[in-house]
Amino acid sequence: MTRRLSRETLIKWAPLLVLLALVIFFTALNPTFFSLRNFARIAIASAPALMVAVGVTFIIVMGSIDLSMEGTISLTAVAFAFIFAQFGGSLGGMGWIAIPLVLVLGGAIGLLNGIVHVKLRIPSFMASLAMGFVGTGAAILLTGGDIVKVSDAAFRGLLTVRWLGFPLMVYIAAFFLFVAWFIQTHTTLGRNFYAVGGGEDLAHASGLNVTRVRVTGFALAGVFYAIAAILVVARIGQAESVTGSNFMFVSITSVVVGGVALWGGIGGVWNALVGVLIVGVIDNGMVVIGLPDFVQDGVLGLLVIVAVVLSTDRKMVSFVK
Amino acid sequence: MDIQRLKPHLPWITLVVLVAIVGFTDPGFLRPSNLLGLAGDIVPLFIMALGLTFAIYIGGIDLSAQSMANMVTVIASVYLASMGAWVAVFCVAAGFLLGMLSGYVTTRLFVPSFISTLAIGGVAFSIAQWLSGQRALNMDAVQRNETFGWMIGRTWGVPHELLIAAVLVAICLFIERRTTLGRALKAVGAGELAAAASGLNVARYKILAFAISGALAAIAGLLFAVKLSGGAPTIANGFLLPAIVAVLVGGTPLTGGVGGVVNTVVGTLIVAVIRASMLYFEIDATRQQMVFGIVLIVAIALTIDRAKLRTVK
Amino acid sequence: MYQLKAVDKKFPGVHALKAIDFHVERGEIVGLVGENGAGKSTLMKVIYGAYQPDGGQVLIKGVPVRFANPRQAMEKGIGMVFQEQSLIPNLTVMENIFLGYEQQFVRFGVVDWKAMARAAKAQLAKVKLDIDPGMVTSKLSFAQRQLVELAKVLTLEERVKGDLVILLDEPTSVLSKEEVQLLFKLVRELTTRASFIFVSHRMDEVMDLSDRIYVMKDGAVVDVVARGGATAEAIQHKMVGRNVDKQYYREHLQAPYDASKVLVEMDRVGLPGRIQDISLKLHAGEVLCLVGTEGSGREAILRTIYGMLSATTGQLRIKGEDAAGYSPRHAVAHGVGYVPRERKVEGIVAGMNVYENMTLSQMKNHSRGGVLRVAEERALARDWIKKLSIKAHSEFADCGNLSGGNQQKVVLAKWRSGGSDIMLLDHPTRGLDIGAKEDVYDMIRAMSAAGVGIVLVADTLEEAIGLSHTIIVVKDGRIQKQFACEPGAKPTPYDLLHYMI
C-alpha cells in the first residue's frame, strides 16, 4: 500500500522535477538558454509534438498503444495541403474549409485504426503500426513523392504572427491542450478511458461498452494527430509524405517520460505536456550548449527505458513479451 | 475443409497461387534467371526477417532491426579500411550485443519488447549518425571487392547472396529443430509459464532470441552495405515493414510458438513475388507500402492465436 | 421471490449442478456452504448471470427469466459483491459506484461531478461509510472497499423496479473480527432493502448471519437447514460425509515410508503475507498432504520448495543441502518435480508434442553441446507412453489435443523420466474424470513405492486422507496440526475441518 502510494507520488512529481533540473542545467551551461526568444523556439518545436502526445496519451491511458501517428500525420498534412489549394489556397477565402475536413479525416483514420484493432482482435501496437504504414503509403500515393507548398500568408500567420513573444500556433496548441484536459476530466468518455486502463475486465463487468470506448479513443487520437499535422504544415510551409517522420518516437517518448504509465490508468494530458517539454528542452538544450543533435535519439531511447522501469509495478507483472 | 487444419498450409498455397498467377500473365517471370535474380535481390531483407522470426517466435517483436542494419552499414563503411575482413565480425558482434541489451531490458526490466526495441533502435540510430557524421559514406571499391566481393558475385548464374542465405537458413533451421536453444524458444513462445514451471531459465533464452535477431539484422546490414558499396544512417529504411510482413505471412503468428524458419523462407518469397508482380502489373512502386500495410493486417488477423490473448490491448 | 427450479449445468466431463432447487424470500439472508468443488461458485455464476443453466428454470416472482450476461441480471435486481474486488483502483469512489451508469449526471456532454458526488454520498450513507466520494479507490482500506462495493450494488435500488437479491461471495475472508461484526450488522439492517445470499467457508459466520443455509455437495443441494436447525458439526458432516471406498484411493497399496531418509526439510520457513513458521519433513516414499482452505498457504509452501518463491526467514533443505536462493532450475537439478494446478497453462506446453514436453525439464540429459539427440527423446517418449498407457496416436501428438488425464500423465512422465524423486503435486486430479483420477492414484502409489517423496495438495479431503501418509493442516499460513495417516487409522474429514476453519 505505502509502496504503491510512494510510486504514485514519484510518477506524479518526478517528471516535473526532471524538467526543472534540465532547465537549470542548460541555463547554467549557457545563459542564453533562459530567454523568451529561446523559449518561443522550444514552444514552436513542441507545439505539434504536444498535439500528437496528447492524442496518444488517451490511448496509453487505456492500456493500448498507437503507433500510427507518422502515417496519419503525413496523410492528413498532405490532404490538408491539397484541399487547402483546392479551395483557393487562402485562409481569407474558402481555404478554411480544409481545416474541419482534415480533422474529420484524422478522426476517420483513427476510427479505422480502432476498428481494425478491436474487431479483428489484433494487438494495438501492431494494428496501428500497420495502419501507419498504410497512411504513409497513401500520402506517397497522393503526392507521388513531391513536396506540396502551402505559402498562404494568412495561414502562415500561425507561425509569423506573435503575441507576447509566442506565435499563434503555440496558443492554438495550448487551447487544444485545454480541450483535451476538459475531455479527460469532465466527460464520461475521458473517465471511461481510465476505467478501461485501470481494469478492463472489471469495467466490462460493470457494464461498460469497452469496445466502443476503445474505438472512440483511437478516433479522438486521430483528430489530435490531424491538428498536429496542420500545425506542422503551418510551421514548415509544406507537406510531403515524410512530414510525419519521427513523430512516433518523439511522442511515445514524451508521453512515457512525462509519467503516463504504459500499463494504463495512470497519468494524463498534463504529463504529456511535461514530457513534451522535457524532450523539447533536451533537443533545444543540446543545440544551445553545442552538442551534436544526433545524440538525442540515443538519449531519448535510454530515457524511455528508465521511465518505463520507474513506472512499472513489478509485483503486478508476471511476464512481459 | 476445416480452416484450422488448412491454416498451416496457407502460406505455401498462397505462394504457389501467386507464382501461378504472375507466371500465367507474364511467362517471362518464370524464367530461371529472372527467378534467381529476384531471389538474390531480396536476400538482405530475408536475413533481417530470419532474425525477426526468432523475436516473434517467442511472442515478442524487434522493431530495432532496421536501425540495427542502418548502423551496421555505417560501421562497415567506416571501419572497412582499418579492420579489413574483421569488420564483419565487429558488425555481427555489435548487432548481437545490442540485441542482448534489448532482451535484457525486456525480460529483466519488464519493458514490453516493442518499446525496448524501439528505444534500442533509437540508440543504434544515434550511433549511426555519430559515426557517419550524418552523411552517406562510400566504401573503397577495390578494398570492398577484395574483402567482400565474394558475397555478391555469381557462380553458374546463381547469385552468391542466395548461397549465404542458404547457409544461414541451414544454421537457423538446425538451431530451431535440433538444439536445446531451439526447443526452449519454442516452449517459451508456446507456453512461457509452463516453460518456467519446467525449470527453464526463460529470461536467458529470451535474451538470446533478441540477440540472434540483432546479429542477423547486422548481417543483413552488412550484406546491404557491400551490395551498395556504402552506408548511411537511413539507407535500410523501408526494410522493417516487409520483413515483419515476411515473417507473419509465412505463418509465424505474433503470439509466437508456431511457425519458424521455413515459414519465413516462404513468407519472404511471397513478399518477393508481391513486389515483382506489382512491377509487372504496373502498380506504382509508391503504393507498395500501402499494399504491405494492408497485407500485414490481413496476415496478423489470419495467423494470431486469440486464445493466448486474454485481453487484446 | 427469487427461485431456481431443477437447475442443471454441465461442463465437458463434469456435471457441475444437479437439479438444484433454491429460493430466496424478500428480506431473507440465505447461506450457501459446501466444500471446494461442491458447485457453490457455479451456482452463484448462474444466479448473477455469468453462466446460463442447461436445464431447469430461473423464476423471479414466479416469472421465468433468462440472463445472457451479468448486466441483464443486474437489470432484474440481482447484484454481486465479488470476493476478488471489482473496483477499479485508479478511479475515484464515486466513479466506481456509477461506472457504466454515468449518463444520469451528464449535462450537455459534461459530467456534473458535484451531482455525482452528492448521489455517491447518498449511496455510501446506505452502508454507513463516511468518506469523500472523490477519493481514489486505491487509498481505501480493504474493508472500506468492500463497503463501497456493496454501495455500488445497492445503486440497483434506484435503477431497478422490484426487489434486490445481493450475492456476497466470501465477504469476510480478509476482514478483522470487528469489521465482520460491522458488516453483519449492516447486512441485517439492509434486509429492509434487499435479500442476501451469503457464501462463506467460515461456518460460524454463516450460522450467525443466515436465516436458512443451503448445504451443497457434489453439485447437489443435500440439505436446507433453518436457523438453529442443526449444529455446525452436523452441517459439516453433511458437507463432506460420503462413504469412502478404501480401494478407490489404493489404501491397500500404502506402504510405510523410509523415515531414515529425509528429502525435504523446512525449518521455520516464512514468507511475509503468505506463510509463517512452517516446519516439516518429507521422507523418501512418503505422501505428505497439505490440507487447508483456498489461500491458506498450501500453494505457497509448494512453490517455496520449488524455488518459485523464496523464503525470507527460516531454512529450506533439499536432500540435506541448503536450498536458499534456489530457482526452479536449481530445484529441478536436485530432483524436484512440480505438477502445477493449472495443467494447461503451467503443466504442458500446448503446441509441443509429447516427446518435446517430456524432455523439456531435462534437455541436458538428451543433448550434447546444446544439440539434441532427438531419436533418443522419441524412444523415451514411446517408452513412457506405453508404461503409463497414455492415449496419444504417437510421440508426435500435440499435447494440447490430449485429454486432461493424458496431459497429466505426460506431465508426470516428464518428471519421472528425468529421475525426479521429490514430487510436488498441486491438485493433480482437478478436472479429471473418474478413470483418469484412478490412474493418477495408481501413479502416486507407484512413485511412493519407488521411494519418491510426494507433497500433495489434494482436490478433496477424502482424496487427501485416502492417499497420504501424513497430513498437515494449514490455516492462515501457519501449520495447525499434523496427522499420521496409517491405513485403518486415518483421521476423518471432520477431524481436519475442525482445524481448517
- Residue B258 sits in a domain of what CATH number? 1.10.3470
pLDDT of residue B21: 85
Chain B residue with Cα closest to C424? B197
A6 touching chain C per CB within 8 A: no
Mean pLDDT score across all residues of chain A: 86
**Whether residue A5 has pLDDT greater than 90:** no
pLDDT tens-digit map of B50-60: 999 999 999 88
Q: Is residue B76 part of a domain?
A: yes
Residue B229 lies in a domain: yes
Nearest Cα residue in chain A from B119: A301
Domain that holds residue A146: 36-245+260-267
Percent of chain B residues past pLDDT 70, beyond the cut:
94
Chain B contact partners (≥3 CB pairs within 8 A): A, C
Q: Does domain C251-342+419-500 have CATH number 3.40.50.300?
A: yes
Q: How confident is the model at residue C402 (pLDDT cuts 50, 70, 90)?
A: confident
Output phi, psi for C54, to 5 deg. -85, -25
A296 inside domain = no
Query: Quick check: C204 pLDDT over 60?
Result: yes
Task: Give the highest mean pLDDT range of A150-154, C260-264, C491-495.
Answer: C260-264
**Is B190 in contact with C345 (Cβ distance < 8 A)?**
no
Measured between beta carbons, the chain C residues lying within 8 angstroms of A261 are none
Q: Give the sheet arrangement for strand C29-34, strand by strand.
A: C78-81, C164-169, C194-199, C29-34, C212-217, C220-226
Mean pLDDT of B282-307: 75
Exposed (0-12), middle (13-18) or buried (19+): which is A291, by Cβ within 10 Å?
Answer: middle
Higher-confidence position of B146 and B247: B247
User: Is the pLDDT reported for residue A315 higher than 70?
Assistant: no
Mutate to test the interface with B, among C343, C346, C359, C408 (most CBs of B within 10 A): C346
Cβ-nearest to B180 among C327, C333, C367: C367
> Quick one: pLDDT at residue A7?
61
Which of B120, B244, B300 to probe by mutation at the A interface, max A CB count within 10 Å?
B300
Residue of higher predicted confidence among A153 and C133: C133
Query: Could you report the per-residue pLDDT of C256-302, keeping only the tens digit for each?
Result: 888 888 899 999 888 887 888 888 999 999 999 998 877 788 888 99
Q: Do B187 and C349 lie within an 8 Å CB cutoff?
A: yes
Other Cβ atoms less than 10 A from the Cβ of C215: the count is: 23
Q: What is the percent of chain C with per-residue pLDDT over 70, rounded to a whole number?
A: 96
Please give the residue range of the domain that contains residue B185: 40-297
Cell of C220: 447437489
Instruction: Tell me what pLDDT residue B2 has.
Output: 59
Can you give the pLDDT at residue A317? 47
Q: Say which amino acid occupies A135.
A: G
pLDDT at position B132, please?
87
Q: How far is C439 from chain B (nearest CA, A)?
A: 22
Q: What is the pLDDT of residue A1?
A: 39
Q: What is the pLDDT of residues C221-235, one digit of tens each?
A: 888 988 888 887 788
Q: What is the CA radius of gyration of chain A?
A: 19
Q: What is the pLDDT of residues A284-302, one digit of tens each?
A: 888 888 777 677 777 777 8
- Position A320 in a domain: no
Domain count, chain A: 1
Q: Which amino acid is at C410?
A: V
CA distance A147 to A239: 6
CA distances (Å), origin C90, targets A81, A199, A316: 42, 9, 14
For residues B34 and A75, the model is more confident at A75
Model pLDDT for residues C140-191, shown as the tens digit of each residue: 887 888 888 888 888 888 888 778 899 988 877 667 778 888 888 888 888 8
- Confidence label for B193 from pLDDT (cuts 50, 70 and 90): confident
Overall number of domains in chain B: 1
Question: Do A297 and B125 lie within an 8 Å CB cutoff?
Answer: yes
Interface-testing mutation among A140, A240, A297, with chain B (most B C-beta atoms within 10 A): A297
Which of C318, C330, C341, C363 to probe the B interface (max B CBs under 10 A)?
A: C363
What was the pLDDT predicted at A155?
83
Beta carbons of A206 and C102 less than 8 Å apart:
no
User: Over chain C, what is the mean pLDDT?
Assistant: 86
Give the residue from chain C lying closest to A208, CA to CA. C100
Cβ-defined contact of A198 to C89 (cutoff 8 Å): yes
Chain A partners within 8 Å of B105 (Cβ): 305
- A313 in contact with B, Cβ within 8 Å: no
Contacts of B286 in chain A (CB under 8 A): 137, 140-141, 144-145
The residue ranking higher by pLDDT, A312 or B205, is B205
Confidence (pLDDT) at A8: 63
A4 occurs within a structural domain: no
Numbers of helices and strands, H then E, in chain B: 15, 4
pLDDT value at position A312?
63
Rounded alpha-carbon distances, angstroms, from residue A285 to A25, A295, A296, A299 = 9, 12, 10, 13
Residues in chain B within 8 Å Cβ distance of C328: 196-199
For residue B216, give the nearest of B63, B91, B76 by alpha carbon.
B91
To the nearest whole Å, the CA of B286 is away from the closest chain A CA by 6
**What is the C-alpha to C-alpha distance for residues A179 and C352, in angstroms, rounded to an integer?**
52
State yes or no: pLDDT of A173 exceeds 90. yes
C-beta separation of A243 from A229 below 8 A = yes
| Dist CA B311 CA B303 (whole Å) | 17
User: pLDDT value at position B3?
Assistant: 63
Contacting residues of B for A308, CB less than 8 Å apart = 109, 111-112, 115
What confidence tier does C456 reach under pLDDT thresholds 50, 70, 90? Answer: very high
Closest listed residue to residue B47, CA positions, set B225, B255, B235, B264: B264
Q: CB count, 10 Å around CB of A13?
A: 11
Give mean pLDDT, residues A128-153. Answer: 87
Higher-confidence position of B289 and B312? B289
B307 lies within 8 A of chain A by CB? no
Nearest CA in chain B to C329: B199
> Does B33 map to a domain?
no
Kindly indicate whether the domain formed by C2-240 is annotated with CATH number 3.40.50.10490: no
Q: Which residues of C touch A205 (CB under 8 A)?
A: 70, 86
Confidence band, pLDDT 50/70/90 cuts, at residue C455: very high
**Proportion of chain B above pLDDT 90, given as a percent:** 33
Tell me what pLDDT residue A3 has.
Answer: 47
Q: Please tell me the predicted confidence (pLDDT) of residue B274.
A: 85
- Mean pLDDT to the nearest integer, C365-381: 89
Please name the amino acid found at residue A320: V
Percent of chain A clearing pLDDT 90 (strictly above): 39
**pLDDT tens-digit profile of A83-92?**
998 888 787 7
Q: What is the pLDDT of residue B99?
A: 95
The answer, for A97 touching chain C at a CB cutoff of 8 Å, is no
Is B309–A121 a contact, with Cβ atoms under 8 angstroms apart?
Answer: yes
Q: Which residue has the higher pLDDT, B307 or C325?
A: C325
Name the residue ranges covered by the structural domains of chain C: 2-240, 251-342+419-500
**CA Rg, chain C, in Å?**
26
A202/C contact by beta carbon, under 8 A = yes
pLDDT at C277: 87
Res. A320: pLDDT tops 60: no
User: Using 50, 70 and 90 to split pLDDT, how confident is the model at A316?
Assistant: very low
* Mean pLDDT, range A145-156, rounded to an integer: 84
**Could you tell me how many CB contacts below 8 A there are between chain A and chain C?**
57
